[in-house]
Chains A and B, each alone.
Chain A
């Protein structure tokens, strides 16, 4: 069986290099047959594409998409320097 570290590395590269994602800031962890994705993206569509690309790079693993959609709040108070 392939070591989980190599599977995680392959998924991470796929997320960075696949035209559908180009996401560099996703944390990928493999535990047994479970694949965990963590990080933040701009919208729901991108969140789902990440799970698609990850699933294709690691067929047979159960993908847990724990990526959250970054919530752009109203600008807050300024900082005085």
Chain B
């Protein structure tokens, strides 16, 4: 099986003022990667105008593009409209479901969505007390359950999970501890660990750290643009020793 080169970035926070600037960094991406994954916060205010900039910035690339939305993309209550604009340009947008791409004869399955917060095992919110707290925790639980089902049903050779919020706290190092519950939830990692995946990508934690691991040993990468400091990260999936010249 060929190795796959996964390019990924999140938190590009595009708007009219950045039009064209990111696009210029994408030239030649087909030489570096086989697919581009966008980990949410594609806009700053979640407006349709910004959605249009995103669609134009990432359309007609020589590699397939798969995206999830982030909290900023929800701010103007237009997530479905923004997703539709991206889809019109051939970009897949995941909403707690999956897509399977044929990349060089390898079936690459991508599962994911925005994700949500709640905190990390032992230091997290639980479904107890006021309805507002219950709704907060329940939102994350429902998302994690949908990911579990999507992963269970996924028929693919390689499995990547794409999220906006973080499934682990490793990749939050550098963020203030007090805001960890707003940056991610261990429920996301638990769901992925139970069904298995090769890699989890997320954004959202601009001051975090690139590399982490789930309790089950799945590699996690925080690809928020300010964390990477480069246009995108590239992660190569494949058996060691197999096709050694490729990556």
User: Which residues does A use to contact B, with CB under 8 Å?
Assistant: 19, 22, 25, 39-40, 42-43, 45-46, 70-81
Please, which residue of chain B has its CB at the minimum distance from the CB of A78? Answer: B234
- Is B35 in contact with chain A by the CB < 8 A criterion? no
| B 183-199 contacts with A by CB, 8 A | 198-199
Chain B contacts for A74, CB-based, 8 A? 25, 230-231
Interface residue from B221, B230, B247 paired with A75 (Cβ < 8 Å): B230
Please, which residue of chain A has its CB at the minimum distance from the CB of B72? Answer: A22
Per-residue 0/1 for B198-220: is the Cβ within 8 Å of any A Cβ (1 yes, 0 no)? 11000000110000000000010
- Is B13 in contact with chain A by the CB < 8 A criterion? yes
| B 27-45 contacts with A by CB, 8 A | 29, 32-33, 44-45
Please determine whether A40 and B32 come into contact, CB atoms closer than 8 angstroms: no
Interface residue from A39, A72, A80 paired with B22 (Cβ < 8 Å): A72
- A-B pairs with beta carbons under 8 Å apart, 28 shown: A22-B72, A25-B207, A39-B207, A40-B226, A42-B12, A42-B18, A43-B18, A70-B226, A72-B22, A72-B225, A72-B229, A72-B231, A73-B230, A73-B231, A74-B230, A74-B231, A75-B233, A75-B234, A78-B5, A78-B33, A78-B234, A78-B235, A79-B221, A79-B233, A79-B235, A80-B236, A80-B238, A80-B247
Please determine whether B247 and A70 come into contact, CB atoms closer than 8 angstroms: no
Known: A39-B206, A46-B17, A74-B231. 11 other contacts (CB 8 A): A22-B72, A72-B22, A72-B25, A75-B7, A78-B234, A78-B247, A80-B238, A80-B240, A80-B247, A81-B236, A81-B237
Chain A contacts for B206, CB-based, 8 A? 25, 39-40
Chain B contacts for A79, CB-based, 8 A? 221, 233-236
How many Å lie between the Cα of A46 and that of B13 in the bound state?
11
Measured CB to CB, the closest approach of chain A to B82, in angstroms, equals 15
A81 with B199, Cβ < 8 A, contacts A22-B72, A72-B25 known: yes
How many Å lie between the Cα of A79 and that of B229 in the bound state?
15
Query: Number of B residues whose C-beta is below 8 Å from A?
Result: 37
Measured CB to CB, the closest approach of chain A to B44, in angstroms, equals 5
Please, which residue of chain A has its CB at the minimum distance from the CB of B7? Answer: A75
How many Å lie between the Cα of A60 and that of B235 in the bound state?
49
> B14, B199, B233 — which one has the most chain A CB atoms within 10 A of its CB?
B233
- Is B21 in contact with chain A by the CB < 8 A criterion? yes
Chain B contacts for A46, CB-based, 8 A? 17
How many Å lie between the Cα of A73 and that of B247 in the bound state?
21
